Structure 1
Amino acid sequence: MSNRKWKFKKLLRKRYGREIWIVKRRDGTKGYLKIPFISNKNKYRLLVANEYIAAYLARKLGLPVSKLKEISVKGPGRIKKRGLLSIKAKAKEVIPWKKAQFHNSAQIERKVKKAELLAQLIAFDAWILNLDRTNHNLILHRNHPRRRYNWYLIDHGIALFGSPSKWKKRWSRKTYKKPRAYETTLHSKKARRSLTLRFPKGLKRYTLQHRSYTEAMVQKISSLSKREIDNAIKKVPKGYLKRAEKAFIRNMLLKRQKHIQQIMEEIFTKLQQQTVKKSKTRKNGPYLE
């Protein structure tokens, strides 16, 4: 993928310590280029590492994910900047999950291809400690209004090693030496029995209704070899992870892999309790969960 083929088209937004550009290739392919502010270079390398590892593991487990590539592009003032490119699907309609407005589980199964994989996302996100699965980072695409949507995942920058601004590595490393370390998230100093996961609108209920699909992902995660986990870490560009950081991520993935069945049982128990509580306080209402 030649860097010279990509050209700056538009500044999408500038916040959270980074710029996001819309860039375009000669063949019409578009992408989103995330560029860190100079003061956030150290955080950026960790976020890039999280993205590469999560993308590799997702593909190995059969989940569609956006293609990633580090490139340099000339922007305003012909100033060249380097960032992480996420390639947008080439389709007539490309939208975030939020805009689809599915009203029930039947609509999801009828309008989305490989819908069973959507119910498997919860296990993947729990394993890699991705607490930020939202309506905006699950992307749908199709070429005709009557066709079913394909989909793919984006934005895993605060999974795995976590957001550098939200936890201290020294504390986390010590915590993961404890016997029940798999209960702890990297995003908090508090140990939890289960993670507080976010869901795209409608997927919580869909997942609860199709727990057998989730069990299939639990089995796939449990069967993944140590070699594949090592290969995922090797996908990170050279110089972006220190030796101790690589070891930390590997240890976390292996510990959570070993206990993924118990982790998911605890998460499902919590989700069912939340659903019962809400059904008692609101008998009728829109399809939100």
Structure 2
Amino acid sequence: MGMYSKKTFASDLPPLEVIEEEELNELNQTKYANSKANDVFAYGVLTLLTLYVCACFFAYMFPPEPIPWEIEFALPYDPSKMTSNCSAIIRNPMEGDITSKRVVEYDIYAPSNTTTFSQVLQFTIYIDNVLLMTDLAILPRNEFIPYSTKLNDLPYGYHEISIELTVPLPGGYEEITQWNRSFHVPEGSKIVKVNLPKLQPKAPPKVIKLALSDLITTSRPRILSPQNGSVLRYHQDLPFIQLNFIHHKDHNTTILLNGRATTFDIRELSYPIAKVYINGLSSGSYIVTLVVNNYAVDHVSFNITNI
């Protein structure tokens, strides 16, 4: 078996007496350089941490003004490429029209050049530069959409109506277009125009025939003869005047001669026509009044002359 000698770690190092002075100087310089590098690194890290804390404090105390995303990421605006071509067509009133129709009729056309879907826009109406109404519309593509708005309490005189369209564009921009129309409201009452629908041809109406007696029955009480303003001839062989009138049995009928009530014998010819004989009349002017239920419903004036 071989023999091994035991050696310690300390025995491997040369004795201190053997280390020369130059080697000690080199060791000292290396140690100093390492310690100096560690100090610089520590100071650098401390400086960065201090700056970070100061920046956080400044950002908290003085926050920057927020910028909307549509402006921060906006595209460069090019009017030749970024346009919607949306338009408004005022149908009524026409330019320089004289009308009392207080309604504005218009169409909005949205070709949607800026989107492949329905066009969203805002339209605003002004009357004489005064806001009348504003609304938001979602319009289908390439279709004329009709609208109408009432102009209440619009005085007479010259007026100007303006329709303004506000269309959003890509990049956060807006396209604003305006259409104007001048018209005149005359004085006086409103002119109402009514468009009547065309009636479809129908079967000829049924002809209802009524007898003369039915017409007389349904007519109001009145004096049939003598007629108003007539001239009657007085004759000794015919010393009376026959008065014919429409009479209803359920009515209280009175005959006045020159405003005075006189008792007459009412005789029926054929219902509802009745007659009375007025006797003792001489030449002159007379007025006969027919009173039904205390209301004067008819009167005639006639003259009597001698033959």
Highest CA radius of gyration, 1 or 2? 2
More helix by share: 1
More strand by share: 2
Fold equivalence (TM over 0.5): no
Q: Whose RCO is larger (CA < 8 A, sep 6+)?
A: 1
**Which of the five TM-score ranges fits, normalised by the shorter chain?**
under 0.3
TM-score by length of 1: 0.18
TM-score by length of 2: 0.18
